[in-house]
Amino acid sequence: MASDPSAKDKAAIDQQVKEKQIKIYVHNTQNSTPDVQAQVKEAKAQGIPVVTVTETLAPAGASFQQWQTSQLRGIAQALAKATGK
């Protein structure tokens, strides 16, 4: 069962973004609350690469392997941008 992050968890993430303590921000577009949207906005403002992922097959016509490979490529590209590697 999914649950929202606690106030303590949210404060920790907000601080990590503000202080650029994270390399990338992984954004689940299918669970994007106003708090998450604010974190994404702040991450982008701080120059932290934001990569989007989904919980279900996207695009609809893709195979499972294509979907997962696409998501992994996005993460790899964001890490490369963040680290210069």
pLDDT, one tens digit per residue, over 43-78 is 999 999 999 999 998 888 999 999 999 999 999 999
* Measured distance CA(43)–CA(14) in Å, rounded: 9
The structure tokens 């996207």 sit at 58
* Cis amide prior to 59 (ω within 30 degrees): yes
Say what the pTM is. Answer: 0.85
Q: What are the domain boundaries of the chain?
A: 20-36+43-52+59-85
Q: For residue 17, what pLDDT is reported?
A: 96
Report how far apart the first and last C-alpha atoms of the chain are (Å, whole number): 37
How far apart CA 72 and CA 29 sit, in angstroms, is 15
